[in-house]
Amino acid sequence: MTSATPHSLSRFPFSRSVQQDRSLYRSRLKVTLLSICFPVLIFLVSSAVHAQLPAGTTDTTAQPQAQPQDPARAEASDALDKQDFATALKLLTPLAEKSPNDARLLYDLGFAQEALDQTSAAEATYNRAIAADATYFDPHLALGLLMARTGNQAGAHAELAKAVTLNTDNQLLKARAYRALARLDESANPAVASDELLSAMKISPETPDDILFSGELAEASGDPASAEAAYRRLLAADPHNQDAISALAHVLLTQKKTDEVEPLLTEALAKDPGNPTLNAQLASLYEQENKTEQALPIVEKLHASHPGDPTLTRLLARLYSHSQQYDKAAPLYASLVATVPHDPTLLDDSADVQIHLKNYAAAESLLKRAVAQPSEFPTKESLGDAASRLAFAASANNDPQTTLQALDIRATVQANSPSSLFLAATAHDKLHHTKQAADLYKQFLSVANGQFPDEEWEARHRLITLDHMK
């Protein structure tokens, strides 16, 4: 979702649940111990048979006795179970040095390192485990999740894609890999992500997060109706799910069903009045409906609680601007620009406030920076509007050359208007371009039609003056 997402990142499957992973580890350990004990039983039975064979013969079916597990390894396993990762690390490190090709031992070592936030070491150890046994599922999953958390999405995708092709006795872990893959593919390949989510649900029960995610994928695929259906299905099962309420409010807004959004949010906020996401959505709705008076107190309270949140700061600045409280909006925009100096729409909004405060030099400086990156504007119209404001600010700042440059940019995306013609005329007039100024004053008067009485009066008098200068 492109706007401030209402959905909690706590559901993102790249976060580790140490206790959950240790439980899964213990289930694997029991299988390992069983694999050790079972040959011992066979050996005991075969030994009794062998004792009855004639002298000089050999029992070719006899199995060698399994070696007892290293006590240090058992201690390390116990430490991992108790989440005593420092002790586990101390025990596992020399064991790994003695057995550098033991994939399962290396996986445990990487797990302990990761639990102690030794991220680089854990990544290297997981890679060693994979090198030792490329078919071992667990280190592929662990490495993929680790890479996703540290921002290496390409690497994470490769490891998780490999993991889902491998065999594992724990289908819940494989389902986790599929869900993580789906999250990685959500934006670029929502259809692929949907298939991956379905693969996860084929081998594990559907969760509320799955329903919510299916709605997000439907939105990403341009199917808001299916997204709405998913969110409503989740709310039918869990009426107090705030993530689902927020998601439903968002998708209703995209479908222009604004009459359904306000009662949905107000009812939810009656039960959870301090919910910042729902409050922000209600304030945004009021802003869209030009109900600034209702929106302002909500956002002021939110901003007081979360002064460092740039989304709330920008919303509050915008509301102050809408309510003509430019002196309050200006410092908020200044703080945002200092943090994000290359956002052209932010620069434009900040400059608009400076224009209203008659700080034309400051506005011109901001707008020059904005229009210097035309491709970064969301639409051609927004670029044209910023160029128009720059032309006005430069004119008021007695900078006719910049005024004309700004109008040239505007002309690439918008047709001439009475205002742009007048600004061009006065700029050429200040630069003593007599013919160009006179022509533009005449063009302005031909389309003004009494809409700009002061400017029309000035244009007529300047034409008289310019005519005398010929």
CA atoms of 372 and 366, how far apart (whole Å): 10
**Residues 75, 119: one domain?**
yes
pTM above 0.75, yes or no: no
Same domain, 113 and 254: no
Q: How many CB atoms lie within 10 A of CB 204?
A: 17
The DSSP letter of residue 186 is T
Q: Are 363 and 330 in contact (CB under 8 A)?
A: no
- Is 370 part of a structural domain of the chain? no
Answer positive or negative: Cα dihedral of 437, 443, 444, 449.
positive
Q: What is the DSSP letter of 469?
A: T
In a domain, 148, yes or no: yes
- The answer to whether residue 397 is domain-embedded is no
**Pair (28, 148) in one structural domain:** yes
Same domain? For 201 and 254 the reply is: no
Q: What is the pLDDT of residue 70?
A: 80
Q: Which domain holds residue 239?
A: 211-271
In 323-433, where does DSSP find H-type helix?
326-339, 344-356, 360-371, 380-396, 400-411, 418-430
CB atoms within 10 A of CB 205: 9
Within-domain flag for 195? yes
Contact between residue 381 and residue 414 where contact means Cβ atoms under 8 Å apart: yes
Say if 339 falls within a structural domain.
no
Average pLDDT in the chain: 86
- Model confidence over 240-298: pLDDT tens digits? 999 999 999 999 999 999 999 999 999 999 999 989 999 999 999 999 899 999 999 99
- pLDDT of 469 reads 77
Cα angle at 393 between 389 and 397, to 5 degrees? 170
pLDDT in tens, 84-116: 999 999 999 999 999 999 999 999 999 999 999
The answer as to whether 465 is a domain residue is: yes
Backbone angles phi, psi at 449, to 5 degrees: 55, 40
Last residue within a domain, chosen from 179, 205, 231: 205
Structural domains of the chain, count: 3
Do 92 and 191 lie in a common domain? yes
124 and 243 together in one domain: no
Are residues 92 and 136 located together in one domain of the fold?
yes
* Below-70 pLDDT ranges, the chain: 1-69, 470
Is 22 found in the same domain as 167?
Answer: yes
Helix (H, G, I), strand (E, B) or coil at 306: coil
**Cβ distance 113 to 89 under 8 Å?**
yes
- Let me know: does 50 contact 60? Beta carbons within 8 Å: no
Q: Give domain status of residue 333, yes or no.
A: no
CA 407 to chain centre: 36
241 and 199 in a single domain? The answer is no
- My answer on whether 197 and 219 are in the same domain is no
Residue 363 lies inside a defined structural domain of this protein: no
Q: Determine the pLDDT at residue 68.
A: 60
* pLDDT computed for residue 460 by the predictor: 95
Query: Do residues 75 and 176 share a domain?
Result: yes
Residue position matching structure tokens 């101390």: 90
Give the CATH number of the domain where residue 246 resides.
1.25.40.10
159 and 225 inside one domain: no
Domain boundary among 271, 302, 322: 271
- Identity at 62, one-letter amino acid code: A
For residue 143, what are the CA distances in angstroms to 83, 123, 187? 20, 6, 22
